Amino acid sequence: MKDAAPATAPETFYLKDYKPFGFEVETVELTFKLAPNSTRVLSKIRFSPQDNAADPRFFLHGEALKLISAKIDGAPVTPELIAGGLICDTPGTPFTWEAEVEIAPAANTALEGLYMSSGMYCTQCEAEGFRKITYYPDRPDVMSTFSVRIEGDETVLLSNGNPAGSGEGWAEWHDPWPKPAYLFALVAGDLVNHPDHFTTRSGKDVELNIWVRPGDEGKCAFGMEALKKSMKWDEDVYGREYDLDIFNIVAVDDFNMGAMENKGLNIFNSSCVLASPETSTDANFERIEAIIAHEYFHNWTGNRITCRDWFQLCLKEGLTVFRDAQFTADMRSEPVKRIEDVIALRARQFPEDNGPLAHPPRPEQFQEINNFYTATVYEKGAEVIGMLKRLVGDDNYDKALDLYFDRHDGQACTIEDWLRVFEDATGRDLSQFKLWYSQAGTPRVKVSEDYADGSYTLTFEQSTPPTPGQPDKAPRVIPLAVGLLAANGDELRATEVLELIEAKQSFTFDGLASKPVPSILREFSAPVILERETTNAERAFLLAHDTDPFNRWEAGNALATETRVTMVTEGAAPDGAYLDALEKLVRDDTLDPAFRALVLSPPSQSEIAQTLHDRGVTPDPQKIYDAAETFAQTLAQQLETSLPRLYAATTVDGPYQPDANGAGLRALNGRILSLLTRLDGGEQAARQYQAADNMTQQYAALAALMKAENGERQSQAFFDQWQNDRLVMDKWFALQVACAAPDAAAKVATDLTRHTLFDMKNPNRFRAVMGALAGNHAGFHHASGAGYQLLAENLIALDSLNPQTTARMCAAFQTWKRYDSARQASIRVELERILATEGLSRDTHEMVSRILQG
């Protein structure tokens, strides 16, 4: 076998090695002379040595640049060009650096730095893309003001900050707020705008624009409303006001991420901003609202206060995800948002935290920082802030945040700075709490209980399994929100937050007339796995009576999981008591439809596989799939007589509105339609498809029909209608693979990669097919190994074009140790094949190596 190690091992960067840059950057002036294959970038940068700068030479990052000329204080210099940048002697006093470089945006398929998408120029600089634009100290702790001149034939020429002048073929921009280079942005294209404006609370008028390609201007109104709501919310809730005269958003078709918070010029993956009732589902609308808010909120948490180094990424991302979740909860339903977030956390972050890619929210080492834009940094980072808020209380949280903004505005900060404001604002010692930032792995909390003479005692034991590089873990501070219920469903004790700080700790409740039923980890107060011996009867009781909506859903989720597990391991029939409980709940009109839809949504097949693995059973993906099918069929039959009435009762009349109430009803309606389709062969779904005037209902009908007899015909009709809409076509591509039977999924995906509309260079389209394959649990893990092989082949093909997206999608293999030895062997072959690819990117090399080693 070929040696898998690359000729030179990629460099590893460590948090402990942090050193400040030896120079201050006072001002940056950039001129871009745009041309697809030969853009010239002229930089004029004022540097001054820091007092402690021992070395008069300086290092500037630079990658894939052709250096045309360099000068210091007007005199030509010849820097030493090395891997990753250049080294140059400096005068030892303040000086002006000038450089001219040439780059080729049209050849940039990695979508980092300056690149082209459908004829327009755009940039993506986070994390380390600016070094592909010009030589610069490309690190977040170097902050400076930027003035930019763009020369090009495009009608719209945009950069950060405020407009500073424009004319035929040129435009100038000035950003008065010092920023790191990763927040730099440039857009040039023949674009049209959806304009609006916003008056801040201090009375300043801000011009707002969403820039799109001609033809998409009708899909901007919702995004614009979301932006204005975000601006208002950040003033009302966090006291944060916008700080420039203009705020621009641009939609781009080819984009690795969801969106990017560049100062005053946010660049969005078009799927995360363009929306219309005809082409977008309710889920799309909710996501767009959240992402627009997220990027806007970064203006304070990320831009005004940024990260000292990339190890601190969760400082800006954890906090901003937390803020956007608060926003969505305020705009929509708090419990529904919490349940959705926990579903996502368990689907994406828990597997990461319990596998070979486990890392702390603040990692201590990396080879490629792009590989750490993870669910752990983002979503667990947000959970950590949620715990902090719960521990210190809402008022203290507000006090600490005010102090954070006052103390650190204009700075590049660390997690230590962040925790210190909470310590200073509250007097609380957070040294043990800080372990959440440095320890990987999801803590297990084992619960036991005891009742005697009116005294009820809960005992908790915490432990965290070993993760790569961290065999032993110290006990953490875990806030456990607990309530107690009486046998008749009355609440005996309202929610109280117990602070678990020891490895094992007991809490006693006195004065209880009888043994209560505990409701533990209400609102999912900490990202842990609760282990408690309980009965299905008690779960059913909590599903019916818990006053905490999250735990009510959680009880149903636990019942659903137990039912699936016994179906798989014992070949049992679906649990009758659970089916009865579901029926009662789905018919209960007093409950929020969105909540009922969530209770009706089964745990994912991947989650069942993880549960089995945790209990020492090797999961069989086909059996898990069969159990899911049997359960759905049995539930449909149980509800047979009430399904038509429920369907009618949850059908939303009148024109489509993407509001929370309508979305909740349509979600429930969609669940009912999929059950109904199992009984009527798709009659109702076909009628709904024909009548639908919005994508939510059209798509729900198509998804239901995909497994029915006329699925293929309907899918063709959908294709014919929408083939010219890229975003709708992404849905079509993904749905084919998601709905394919286990033995057909790889074949369906293969055929789609040969489709004329498949474009590997477009991350959305690639993810639509390959992401859906990885998400089709039984199909991806089919015993033939065809799913593994197909994904590996496509990752190898994509790596030379777009390392970032390739590396991220390698995570599909991270759960491989759950499965039987034959599947593990098949996956190992594919991982080793990827690793042996000549010229493999540093990104993918790091990911695959970690997955193999873990």
Backbone angles phi, psi at 276, to 5 degrees: -150, 155
CB of 289 or CB of 317, closer to Zn ion: 317
The mark string for 262-301 relative to Zn ion (x by CB under 5 A, - otherwise) is: ----------------------------------------
Closest approach, Cβ 734 to Zn ion, in A, equals: 24
Measured from the CB of residue 306, what is the shortest distance to Zn ion in angstroms? 12
Residues 711-770 contacting Zn ion, CB under 5 A: none
Which is nearer to Zn ion, 160 or 320 (by Cβ)? 320
Helix (H) or strand (E) holding 744: none
Q: State whether the Cα torsion 316-319-323-329 is positive or negative.
A: positive
Hey, what amino acid is at 613? H
Residue 687 φ/ψ, nearest 5 degrees: -65, -45
CA distances from 546 to 337, 520, 536 (A): 18, 11, 15
Residues 6+ apart with CB under 8 A from 561: 603, 607, 608, 611
∠ CA 454-457-460, nearest 5°, is: 170
For residues 301 and 314, the answer to whether their CB atoms sit within 8 Å is no
Bridge-based pairing of strands 259-260 and 265-269 is antiparallel
Smallest separation (angstroms) from Zn ion to the CB of 798: 24
CA atoms within 13 A on the CB side of 443: 29
| Least distance from Zn ion to the Cβ atom of residue 30, Å | 24
Shortest distance (Å) from residue 622 CB to Zn ion? 38
- Give the Cα-Cα-Cα angle 551, 441, 614 (nearest 5 degrees): 65
Strands 246-252 and 205-212: parallel
Q: Closest CB to Zn ion among 320 and 525?
A: 320
Shortest Cβ 287–Zn ion spacing (Å): 14
Q: Which two tokens stand for residue 404?
A: 């954070």
Measured from the CB atom, the residue of 128 and 317 that comes closer to Zn ion is 317
Tokens read off for 169: 């073929």
Nearest to 559 by CA among 532, 529, 538, 584: 538
Give backbone dihedrals phi and psi of 83, rounded to 5 degrees, phi first: -60, 125
Quick one: tokens of 135?
A: 């030589």
Which two tokens mark 846?
Answer: 């790091």
Q: CB-wise, 337 or 850, nearer to Zn ion?
A: 337
- Span interacting with Zn ion, options 5-13, 320-328, 489-497, 808-816, rule CB under 5 A: 320-328
Residue 822 CB, shortest distance to Zn ion, in Å, is 40
The residue (of 297 and 780) whose beta carbon lies closer to Zn ion is 297
Determine the size of the site formed for Zn ion (CB under 5 A).
2
Residue 317 vs 368, nearer CB to Zn ion: 317
CB of 48 to Zn ion, least distance (A): 32
Binding to Zn ion (CB under 5 A) within 482-501 occurs at: none
Nearest approach, Cβ of 219 to Zn ion (angstroms)? 23
**Among residues 109, 111, 5, which one has the least CA distance to residue 838?**
5
User: Among 70-78, 136-144, 317-325, 825-833, which window interacts with Zn ion (CB under 5 A)?
Assistant: 317-325
763 pairs with which residues across the strands? none
For Zn ion, the closer of residues 382 and 542 by Cβ is 382
Least distance to Zn ion, CB of residue 315, Å = 11
**How far apart, in whole angstroms, are the C-alpha atoms of residue 537 and residue 140?**
54
Stretch that binds Zn ion, among 155-163, 315-323, 705-713, 805-813 (CB under 5 A): 315-323
The residue whose two tokens read 């420039």 is 244
The region of 31-39, 65-73, 271-279, 311-319 touching Zn ion under the rule CB under 5 A is 311-319
Residue 320: CB minimum distance to Zn ion, A: 5
3-state helix, strand, coil in the chain (%, to 5): 45, 20, 35
Query: Judged by CB under 5 A, which stretch of 58-66, 318-326, 334-342, 389-397 contacts Zn ion?
Result: 318-326
**Cα–Cα dist 845/355, whole Å:** 17
Exposed/middle/buried for 272, CB within 10 Å: 0-12, 13-18, 19+? buried
| Selected range binding Zn ion among 19-27, 95-103, 236-244, 312-320, rule: CB under 5 A | 312-320
Q: What does the alpha-carbon distance between residue 706 and residue 716 come to, in Å, rounded to a whole number?
A: 11
Per-residue mark of binding to Zn ion, 793-832 (x: CB under 5 A):
----------------------------------------
What one-character DSSP code corresponds to residue 604?
P
Query: 450 to 469, contacts with Zn ion by CB under 5 A?
Result: none
User: Does the N-terminal peptide bond of residue 127 adopt cis geometry, omega within 30 degrees of 0?
Assistant: yes
**Taken in order 249, 253, 259, 262, is the CA torsion positive or negative?**
negative
Task: Determine which helix (DSSP H) or strand (DSSP E) holds 598, and give its type and residue range.
Answer: helix 593-600
From 139-147, 276-284, 319-327, 659-667, give the range in contact with Zn ion by CB under 5 A: 319-327
Within 504-660, strands assigned E span: 504-509, 517-520, 529-532
Residue 605 is encoded by which pair of tokens? Answer: 């097949």
3-state DSSP call for residue 451? strand
Nearer to Zn ion, 58 or 182 (CB): 182
Binding part of the chain for Zn ion, among 80-88, 316-324, 737-745, 759-767 by CB under 5 A, reads 316-324
Kindly state the smallest distance separating residue 294's Cβ from Zn ion, in Å.
6
Q: How many Å apart are CA 449 and CA 220, to the nearest integer?
A: 55
Q: Considering the complex, state which of residue 296 and residue 433 has its C-beta at the smaller distance from Zn ion.
A: 296
Smallest gap from residue 257 Cβ to Zn ion (A): 9
Q: Is the Cβ of residue 349 or residue 753 nearer to Zn ion in the bound state?
A: 349
Buried b (16+ CB within 10 A) or exposed e, 231-247: bebbeeebebebbbebb
Determine the straight-line distance between the first and last CA of the chain, rounded to whole angstroms.
21
Closest C-alpha among 683, 688, 708 to residue 698: 688
Question: Toward Zn ion, which CB reaches closer, 324 or 843?
Answer: 324
> By rule CB under 5 A, what string of x and - marks binding of each residue 213-252 to Zn ion?
----------------------------------------
The SS3 assignment for 123 reads strand
Q: β-strands 113-117, 170-179: how paired?
A: unpaired
Catalytic residues: 295
Query: Cβ closer to Zn ion: 306 or 815?
Result: 306
List residues binding Zn ion (CB under 5 A). Answer: 317, 320
